[in-house]
Amino acid sequence: MMPDDAIYLMAHALQSVTWLALVLILPGLLVGLLISIVQAATQVTEQTLSFLPRLLVTLLVLSLSLHWLVQELSNIFTTFFTAIISG
């Protein structure tokens, strides 16, 4: 394997892992922001009010996107192993 191939594979893997993480993190961040705005407007500063909705949204997104996440990880590893075998 040439150094250019290794750099391409690592860049592709980092980009894919970034997208996979964003799919899980971004909805929770948006819900947390929305709840923080509501809490600031109503002056309710209870920490548990923001935790449960973020957890539920994250679990919902995980359950809805699990097939795609596993498929993307499988594609990354298939690409790596194919590149290693081909030399």
Angle at 79 between CA 4 and CA 25, to 5 degrees: 100
pLDDT band at 66 (very low <50, low <70, confident <90, very high): very high
pLDDT in tens, 35-49: 989 988 998 877 778
| Average of per-residue pLDDT values in the chain | 90
Q: How far apart are CA 27 and CA 4, in angstroms?
A: 35
- What is the number of structural domains in the chain? 1
* pLDDT for the residue 3: 84
By residue range, what is the domain housing residue 8? 3-86
* Sequential DSSP letters for 33-50: HHHHHHHHHHT---THHH
